[in-house]
Structure 1
Amino acid sequence: MMGDKIRLFVAIDLPEEVKDLLAATAVQLGHHLPKRAVRWVHREQMHLTLRFLGDTAVAQLPGLQQELTQLAAQHQPFRLRLSGVGAFPNQKRPRVVWVGLAGDVAPLKLLQSELEDRMVGLGWSREKRLFNPHLTLGRVKDAGQARRLHWDVQVAEVKFGVTAVQLVQSELRPSGAVYTVRQTVALNP
């Protein structure tokens, strides 16, 4: 029975103005593309993923929430700014389209690496890929069409503060994923 498992990830929420800007950037990037070439992230689902946890036993929630509370208590708020558009693995063969991050990237990476250690301590496998701070705008569905993305779009270098981390539940539905915040923990000011 699947009822005792939920899909979870740990993320940083974004201010409304940043979401607005990201949504507008996605529109500019995909200006000449057919509708289904890229599946763009809905504005209300935009966030900075720190760690995807996947299917998690509900019984693990208290331990997970405790670890996040302890982690947040050891980190101070920091500031990031938007920085250009790009793609994984690259712009010639884009699979994921993103906006980069600059600013206090060192505290962000430290927060993420300590989160990783704590998740491994709770029984998750260590992530194979190195953490690469970015905000996903869309996932490419039609690689041929996606070559026509407008990579020369300018992204305003908006700054924003990071003051909390969130534990988010993701429910996959035919209409797309629905996110529910299970916990928000403030960083230690």
Structure 2
Amino acid sequence: MRLFVAVLPPPDRLAELGAAVDELHALPGADHLRWAGRDDWHLTLAFLGEVDEGLLPDLHTRLARAAHRTPPFELRLHGGGRFGDKVLWAGVAGALDALRLLAERSDAAARRAGVSMEEHRRYHPHLTLARSRSGADLHPYVDALTPFEGTAWQTEELVLVRSRLPVSGVVGEQPRYEVVGRWGLGV
């Protein structure tokens, strides 16, 4: 099964971001971007890829340990940015050192559980908003997001999410996400 580890911002904080994103839809070219489904907005900590179900018990144990070793911390959604001309994202502010540590612990937990993962990359906290297949000019969207400041929240949970990729061939269909594990931070 295809899995990733994440932090889920609370629905009211996502609604704040949603209001800012609604304004982006009015910008020229917005209809050429593939917008992420709002119900699926999250902060990925570690992408695990395809994971053998036999590894799940150990993975759950190790993620529970990573969550237990990490006390709750404060985050907020903040501004925006882009990865080249392909990905538009909302930024994150607050206790970024704690978020990075939780990402490192999640990555290490997966590796120790036997999950075969890609080469380790430096963690860059973000929430993906849209993707461009054609290499759109994302600068106007980033500029419009720059003043966005979301309300802070206390991050208290680590989640393991299953990603089911689209199989219907319908244009614009999004992956479906299902939480398959939850662990309280510092618990």
TM-score tier, shorter chain, comes to 0.7 to 0.9
Partner in structure 2 of residue 161 of structure 1: 154
Partner in structure 2 of residue 3 of structure 1: none
Secondary structure class of the residue paired with 1:21: helix
Per-residue CA deviations over 1:21-62 (Å, capped at 9, x if unaligned) read: 222222222322345421111110001100111111111111
User: How many residue pairs align between the two structures?
Assistant: 180
Partner in structure 2 of residue 15 of structure 1: 10
Instruction: Output the TM-score relative to the length of structure 1.
Output: 0.86
> Distance between the aligned counterparts of 2:27 and 2:180, measured in 1?
38
Point out the structure with the larger strand share: 1
Paired residues for 1:40-189 under 5 Å: 40-89=35-84, 94-123=85-114, 124-125=116-117, 127-144=119-136, 146=138, 148-149=140-141, 151-153=143-145, 154-173=147-166, 174=168, 175-188=173-186
Match of 1:29 among 24, 28, 36: 24
> Distance between the aligned counterparts of 2:142 and 2:23, measured in 1?
7
> Distance between the aligned counterparts of 2:125 and 2:142, measured in 1?
22
Q: For residue 144 of structure 1, report the CA deviation from its aligned partner.
A: 3.9
Instruction: Output the TM-score relative to the length of structure 2.
Output: 0.87
Structure 1 unmatched runs, 5+ = 1-5
RMSD: 1.9
Percent identity, aligned pairs only? 31
> Distance between the aligned counterparts of 1:56 and 1:166, measured in 2?
16
The more displaced of 145-154 and 68-77 is: 145-154
Structure 2 unmatched runs, 5+ = none
